[in-house]
Amino acid sequence: MGVGPRALLYRLRCLLKRREVDVWYDPAYRLPFSGIEFTGYDTRRADFAAWWLRESKAIATPWWRSPRRASYAELARVHEAGLLESLARPETLAAIFGVDPSDVPVDEVMRTVRLATGATIQAAGEALRRGKPQLNLLGGFHHAGPGSAGGNCPVNDIAVAVAAVRADGFTGKVAVLDLDAHPPDGVAACLESDPSHWIGSLSGSDWGPLPGVDEILLPEGTGNARYLDALKALLGRMPPAGLLFVIAGGDVLRGDKLGRLDLTLGGVRLRNLTVAAHLEGVPSVWLPGGGYSKNAWKTLAGAGIALSTGSLDPIPDDYDPLSQRFAGIAAGFSRDVLTDTGELTEEDLSEALGMRPSRQKLLLGFYTASGMEYALQRFGILDQLRRLGYDHFRVEFARQHPGERIRVYGESEDKEHVLVELVLERKRVLGHPVLYVHWLSLMHPRAQFSLLRPRLPGQDVPGLGLARETGEMLALMALRLGLTGVVYRPAHYHTAYAGRHHFSFVDATRQGRFEALIRDLGPVPLLDATRAVDGGRVKLDGKPYAWEPDEMVLWLREHPEERGEVALERERAHFVLEPDPPPRADQ
C-alpha cells in the first residue's frame, strides 16, 4: 500500500509546475444520505478529490480554504420564500436528491448545501479581489430556479454568488460556462433579470429551447474530438467577462449513468485545460456540477490539476482514494491504543491459572472494545453515523460459534439500536491464514424501504451506505493481525457484485462463472438482476441457475492468479435472463 515510483514522479512534476489556485472544501461536503448510491451519485466525490489533490501536492497547504455557511438572507436574494421554507421538509429534499424521505436528516443536508453555497459566494469574492482561480469541490447547482429545485440542486449557488457580488458593487459582465452534460435551466431562470450576463452551454440533453442561453446541443456518444471542436466554437463566441463561473461537469464521462457524451478521462482533462488556457486572467470560479460514475471524482480532481499544474498526466489507475486514506490513518495508530498491553497483574495470573474468568474480552485476541471505538472515530465512521441521526455509541464483543461477534450500538430518539453487526474468525483458506467474515450487517433503522430504495434480497433494514469503509477497515484489521487475506461468502448476487473490484472467488472456475454472469446481466439494473438470480429466472445451459455462495477472497499479499482457468469458464458459461412473469389478467 506504499507510494509507488509512478506516484512519486507525479508529485515531483506537480511541485515543479504548479500555479496558485484556492480550493474550497469541508469534510461535511459529503451529503448524509445512506441510500443515494443507487442513483450513481457517490457522496464521497469531494473527499476523494480533496485527498488526491492534497496527497499529490497539486494543491499546496496554504491554498486550502474552509467555507462558511451561506445565510438565509443571501439565499433570499435569489430564491422565493416558499422554496426556502420547503427546504426544511424532508419530503422536499428527498424529491430533489432522489432518495426516500426517511433517509433525509434535514439539518445535516442543509448544512452541506449551505457550506457549498457559502464557498461559491466566498470564491467569487476572492476571484474578484485577487484574480487567481478558485475551485469549489461542491456546487454548480445549475437546475435550481428562483422558486423551483430539482436534479440534486436545492438552491442555485451560482446565482446566489452573483447576487452577492452585485450587492458588493460589482457591475462587470458575469459569464457562466456550463460544461455539465445537462442544460443550465435554473441558472437561466435566476439570472434573467441580471443586467450584464452571458450563459453558454455544451450539453447532451435536449430540454427544449432555453431563452438567454447560447447552447450547443451534442448527440449521444459525441466523444472527445467532436466535443472539443464544439467547445472551441462556444469559447469563440463568448464575450469578454469580468467574472466567470465554469461548471466542469463530470457527467460527460464515458459510462456515466445520466450523461451520454462519452468523453474519456483524458478528454475531460483536455476540456478543462482548454478552458483554463483560453480564459487565463479572467477571475474564475470552477464548480463540479454533476457526475454519476465510479470515476467522477477523477474529473473533479482533474479540474484542480488542470488549474494548478496544467498537467495531462492521468491519476494512476491503481490509486484507490479510500484505501490510501484509511491505510494512512491506520499507520498513525499506536499499538497500545487498539489493544491491552497492560502489565501482568495478580488477576492476570489468576486468569492464566484458570482461577477466575477472563476479565478483558479481546476481539481476535487483539482489539479492545474501546480500541475499536477509537478506530471507528478516526476513520470518520462515527461522524457519518452521527450525521445519519445516531449518537452515544457503544462497541460490544461476544463469543459465538463459529467466530466472535462485534456489535456497534447507537442511540436515536432515546432508543438504542444495533447499527453494525460482524462475526469474524481467524481461519485458514487454501493453507493461508485469513480474516474470515461470517456475517456483516450494516443497519440504518431510521431509514425505510420504499420504491426509491427497494429491499434487496437478504435485507431486513436499509443499509448505512458505509460498506466500502467497512471493507477497508476489515482489510486493515487483517493486515494488523498478520493475516494474508479477507474472506466472505456472498449470500446473494448483489453482495458478490459489491465486492467485485477487490474480491474474487477462491475457486477459479467459480470466478469465471461469476464474470460470465456479470457480462450476461450487464445492462440489467443491479436490483432487477439480483432479484432475477434469487427468483430462479436466470438460466445457465437451459436450467435455472441457483446462486452458489462460495468463498470470495481479497488477498493482501501477492497471490498467483489462475486467469487461464477463469477465462475458460467465462467463455464457456452463458446465462440467459428470462423475462418477468406476465401480470395476471385480474390485476
**Residues near Zn ion, by CB under 5 A:** 180-182, 251, 290
Q: Are 308 and 58 in contact (CB under 8 A)?
A: yes
Please, what is the minimum distance in Å from the beta carbon of residue 202 to Zn ion? 12
Q: Are 444 and 496 in contact (CB under 8 A)?
A: no
Please, what is the minimum distance in Å from the beta carbon of residue 180 to Zn ion? 4
β-bridge mates for residue 253, sequence order: 263
- Residue 551's closest CA among 478, 482, 496? 496
Residue 486's Cβ-side half-sphere holds a number of Cα atoms within 13 Å equal to 23
Q: Which is nearer to Zn ion, 221 or 535 (CB)?
A: 221
Q: Which is nearer to Zn ion, 182 or 531 (CB)?
A: 182
Please, what is the minimum distance in Å from the beta carbon of residue 31 to Zn ion? 16
The packing angle between helices 508-520 and 563-572, to 10°, is 40
Q: Which is nearer to Zn ion, 287 or 363 (CB)?
A: 287
Please, what is the minimum distance in Å from the beta carbon of residue 285 to Zn ion? 18
Q: Which is nearer to Zn ion, 134 or 201 (CB)?
A: 201
Give the number of residues written for the chain. 587
Please, what is the minimum distance in Å from the beta carbon of residue 250 to Zn ion? 9
* Residue 392 to residues 108, 368, 417, Cα–Cα distance (Å): 18, 18, 11
Please, what is the minimum distance in Å from the beta carbon of residue 160 to Zn ion? 19
Cα gap 315→266, rounded to integer Å: 10
Please, what is the minimum distance in Å from the beta carbon of residue 37 to Zn ion? 17
Residue 65's Cβ-side half-sphere holds a number of Cα atoms within 13 Å equal to 23
Q: Which amino acid is at 218?
A: L
Q: Which is nearer to Zn ion, 45 or 182 (CB)?
A: 182
Q: Which residue is nearest to Zn ion (CB)?
A: 290
Please, what is the minimum distance in Å from the beta carbon of residue 467 to Zn ion? 26
Q: Which is nearer to Zn ion, 180 or 262 (CB)?
A: 180
Q: Which is nearer to Zn ion, 181 or 529 (CB)?
A: 181
Please, what is the minimum distance in Å from the beta carbon of residue 95 to Zn ion? 17
Please, what is the minimum distance in Å from the beta carbon of residue 203 to Zn ion? 8
- Residue 549's closest CA among 572, 565, 533? 533
Please, what is the minimum distance in Å from the beta carbon of residue 142 to Zn ion? 8
CB atoms within 10 A of CB 344: 8
Q: Which is nearer to Zn ion, 125 or 291 (CB)?
A: 291
Please, what is the minimum distance in Å from the beta carbon of residue 291 to Zn ion? 8
Q: Which is nearer to Zn ion, 149 or 498 (CB)?
A: 149
Q: Are 406 and 420 in contact (CB under 8 A)?
A: yes
Q: Which is nearer to Zn ion, 182 or 492 (CB)?
A: 182
The residue whose grid cell reads 470470495 is 552
Q: Which is nearer to Zn ion, 105 or 290 (CB)?
A: 290
Q: Which is nearer to Zn ion, 292 or 545 (CB)?
A: 292
Cα gap 361→148, rounded to integer Å: 55
Cα gap 15→157, rounded to integer Å: 32
- Concatenated DSSP letters for 270-332? HHHHHHHHHTTTS-EEEE-----STTHHHHHHHHHHHHHT---PPPPTT--HHHHHHHHHHHT
Please, what is the minimum distance in Å from the beta carbon of residue 456 to Zn ion? 27
Please, what is the minimum distance in Å from the beta carbon of residue 189 to Zn ion? 16
Cα gap 121→375, rounded to integer Å: 36
Q: Which is nearer to Zn ion, 290 or 499 (CB)?
A: 290
Cα gap 283→277, rounded to integer Å: 13
- Residue 303's closest CA among 250, 372, 264? 250
Degrees (nearest 5) of the Cα angle 442, 445, 448? 105
Q: Are 120 and 62 in contact (CB under 8 A)?
A: no
Residue 484's Cβ-side half-sphere holds a number of Cα atoms within 13 Å equal to 9
C-alpha cell at 50: 480533496
Cα gap 460→550, rounded to integer Å: 22
- Report residue 450: phi and psi, to 5°: -160, -175
Q: Which is nearer to Zn ion, 33 or 51 (CB)?
A: 33
Cα gap 90→102, rounded to integer Å: 8
By CB neighbour count within 10 A (0-12 exposed, 13-18 middle, 19+ buried), where does 438 fall?
A: middle
